[in-house]
Amino acid sequence: MKISELLELTQSKKIADIAKESLEIGEKKTVEALKKAGCYSISGKRGWHFNGD
């Protein structure tokens, strides 16, 4: 799964649910990977975000 697809899914589902249903890694590893890729989460806004391509 591409990061852009994952970011799109986070707008409607929790990371834990996405990791359980679609990924082979757990929630903590998924969050760690998103942070390393430069993604961020804003308190009060649903989902994860990334500025750029």
Q: Which residues are 40's β-sheet partners? A: 49
Asked if pLDDT for residue 53 goes beyond 80, the answer is no
Asked if pLDDT for residue 52 goes beyond 90, the answer is no
Q: What is the per-residue pLDDT across 2-38, written as a single tens digit (0 to 9) for each? A: 889 999 999 999 999 999 998 999 999 999 999 999 9
Euclidean distance between CA atoms 26 and 12, whole angstroms: 18
Q: Among residues 51, 41, 42, 43, which one has the least CA distance to residue 4?
A: 51
What's the mean pLDDT in 33-46? 93
